[in-house]
Amino acid sequence: FASTLSHLRRTNTPIGRDGKIAKPRQLHNTHWGLVCPAETPEGQACGLVKNLALMCYITVGTPGQPIVDFMMQRQMELLEEYEPLSNPNATKIFVNGVWVGVHSQPAILTATVMSLRRKGLISYEVSLVRDIRDREFKIFTDAGRVCRPLFVVESNPRDPNFGNLVLTKHDVQELDQNRELISSMDAQEREDQAIGWQGLVKNGKVEYVDAEEEETIMIVMTPEDLEISKHYSTYGDDALAGDDNKDDPNKRMKVRPKAIRQAWTHCEIHPSMILGICASI
C-alpha cells in the first residue's frame, strides 16, 4: 500500500544512468519542502529518481492573458509602446517568460496582484516573483511547476494583527466544528463554499509558493519562532539572554537572536512536511 502511494508521487530526472557526474544526484537547497531528502532508490538511479514531499503540489496551469489585461488597466506600458530613453528605470514585466511591458510603480502593482491572489480572484497557482535588484516582475501561470503551501504572516503595518499568522484560533475552531460537514461534501462543493482547506487558500490564510517565489520571501520555521521574533524586536538584545536550553538536551535549538530581527512574510506549516510518504510512516 505504501509503495503504491509512493509510486504516485515519483519523479524521474532524464539523465543517463551510467553517467559519472555526482551533481544531479545530490540534494540541493531549493529541494527543501518540495522533494523528500530521504526517499530515493539505491544503485544507478540514486538521486535521479526522487519523491515529492507530503504537501508538494504540481500546478495544472491557468491562462495568463486576464492578468496582462488587468495590468494594462493599472498603467502598465506595453512593450511595443515603450520608449526606453523616457523611462530608463521602469521595471520589466514578464508573464510566463514573455516580456509583455513595463511599469514605473512596481511595488504598488506587485501588492495589488498579490492581494488579488489572496482574495481568490486569480488562481492560487499563480506565482509572483519581484526581483528588485534586476528591476523585474515575473508572473508564472503555466503548468508543471512544483509548489507547496505556507501559512501567511500579516505584513501590513496598519493591520492590528501585524506580525502574526493570518490564520487565527477562531479559524482553527471553525475548521474543527465543520469537520463532519466537510467529510460529507465532495471537492467541488467544498471549493464553492470555501470550506476546509480550500477555504483557507481562498481567504489568503494559506498560500502556495513555488521554488522561484520562495527566493523572494522570508519563511519562519514555526509559529513559536514568530513569537520569539516579535518579543525580541520589542525588547531588544536582552530579551532572550540566558535561554540556552541547558536543562533539556533534547529541546529544539532556537534560532540565535541576531538572526531573528527580520520581517517575516510566511511560516512553515510543519518542519516534518519536507519528508515524502514513506519517510513519514
Q: Regarding beta strands 266-267 and 146-152, do their DSSP bridges make them parallel or antiparallel, or are they unpaired?
A: antiparallel
> In angstroms, how far is CA 81 from the centroid of its own chain?
34
- pLDDT score of 261: 59
Q: Is pLDDT above 70 for 238?
A: no
Provide the Cα torsion 110, 111, 117, 121; round to 10°.
-100
% of the chain with per-residue pLDDT over 70: 92
CA-based end-to-end distance of the chain: 12
d(CA 236, CA 184): 50
Q: Which CATH architecture has domain 65-140?
A: Alpha-Beta Complex (3.90)
pLDDT at 195: 76
Examine the pLDDT at 257 and tell me if it is beyond 60: no
pLDDT digits 0-9 by tens, 10-55: 999 888 877 778 888 999 998 999 999 999 999 888 899 999 999 9
Average pLDDT, the chain: 86
Mean of the pLDDT values across residues 2-12? 90
For the stretch 137-151, pLDDT in tens is: 999 999 999 999 999
Please determine, for residue 65, whether its predicted confidence score (pLDDT) is greater than 80.
Answer: yes
Q: Report the 3 state secondary structure along 23-68.
A: HHHCCCHHHCCCECCCCCCCHHHCCCEEEECCCCEECCCCCCHHHH
Closest CA to 225 of 118, 153, 148: 153
Confidence at residue 185, expressed as pLDDT on a 0 to 100 scale = 76
Cross-strand bridge partners of residue 58: 146
Q: Which helix (H) or strand (E) holds 232?
A: helix 223-235
pLDDT band at 109 (very low <50, low <70, confident <90, very high): very high
Going from N- to C-terminal start, the domains of the chain cover 2-56, 65-140, 147-270
Question: What mean pLDDT is predicted for residues 240-256?
Answer: 64
Question: pLDDT, tens digit, for every residue of 163-181?
Answer: 888 888 998 888 888 877 7
Query: 159 pLDDT exceeds 70?
Result: yes
